[in-house]
Amino acid sequence: MKLPYIGSDLDGTVVKNNDFEILEETVNDINNYQKESNNKFFIVTGRAFQNMKYYIKQLNVTLPVISSNGGAITDPVTWEVYYEHVMNKDLVIELLQYSIKNDLSFSLYTATTLCALKTAERVKAYKKISGHYLEEDQPEFILYNNYNELIEDVKNDVHKTVKLMYSLDFQKEIVKVESLKKYLESKNLYHPSTIIQSRILVDAMPKGINKASGIRKWAEIMNVDLKNIHVIGDNNNDIEMVSELPFGIAVGNAVENLKKEAWKVIDHIDNNGVGKYLKELISKG
């Protein structure tokens, strides 16, 4: 039986946005696919590597994972970094200074670390989400008292930035959101946004770096034909991946513009869409 590689997004695709858990039947179906395919299911996410450790273990992921919307590829077992697209340091500093001036909450991603203020909204949210995880599965943050300390570390090359992620209140800070997007566009940056619960998360990355470019780099590293990879997503940061690759799939709860680009639309996340698709692949052999 020759089964394809499955590169799946996390949030909104297999991880429910309301409680950040995976349906038990989805977990079982993914792990069965891992068994039947010799572990060909892997993760392609906008999350930082630190924020997927729990799911890597839960889903028995052994293949390299793509994090930060294609900005990095890391071995989930050894933490070896196979690829990272490092942002221009001067640009990162400029973005950080803009964030201070405009009172924006953000996190700085590297291939294996996640930096933020001790008081950051996302840090509080992640700690609440991961409170029941084993200590080894908890995300580890590099926390700062203020952004100026972080800027100094960036200047001194302590961090190799692959992505900045801004977190804003979707209803109360909509004006800030639009201003931020215009600013990022003026800097010629890729800035996909996703809405999770009451927050809108806006990324800042170099144009040309996205999940599609990440999959291509992954395929090159792993010596796998793109035709042997099926990719699954649900949101705006999945559009390039789903539209540009031969087998791009959208879950039933995906945003409409993603569904229009998809080769195939499967069932809703709440109905075990990904799990059902994997069972279908196994049944067809």
Which residues touch 70 (CB under 8 Å, ≥6 apart)? Answer: 44, 85, 209, 210, 211, 212, 213, 214, 215, 217
pTM of the model: 0.94
CATH of domain 89-206: 3.30.1240.10
Every domain of the chain with CATH number 3.30.1240.10 lies at 89-206
What pLDDT is attached to residue 1? Answer: 61
The 10 Å Cβ neighbour count of residue 178 is 10
Please report, in tens digits, the pLDDT of each residue of the chain (285 residues total): 699 999 999 999 999 988 899 999 999 999 999 999 999 999 999 999 999 999 999 999 999 999 999 999 999 999 999 999 999 999 999 999 999 999 999 999 999 999 999 988 888 887 777 778 888 888 889 999 999 999 999 999 999 999 999 999 988 999 999 999 999 999 999 999 988 888 999 999 999 999 999 999 999 999 999 999 999 999 999 999 999 999 999 999 999 999 999 999 999 999 999 999 999 999 987
Q: Helical H runs in the chain?
A: 24-37, 53-58, 89-101, 121-129, 147-155, 174-186, 211-222, 239-244, 256-261, 273-284
What pLDDT is attached to residue 132? Answer: 80
- Cα gap 269→26, rounded to integer Å: 9
- Cα gap 3→81, rounded to integer Å: 26
Which class for 208: exposed (0-12), middle (13-18), buried (19 or more C-beta within 10 A)?
A: exposed
CATH superfamily ID and name for 5-84+209-284: HAD superfamily/HAD-like (3.40.50.1000)
- Residue recorded with tokens 């349906």: 23
Every domain of the chain with CATH number 3.40.50.1000 lies at 5-84+209-284
What pLDDT is attached to residue 48? Answer: 94
Are 107 and 117 a contacting pair, CB within 8 Å? no
Nearest Cα residue to 197 out of 228, 168, 232, 154 = 168
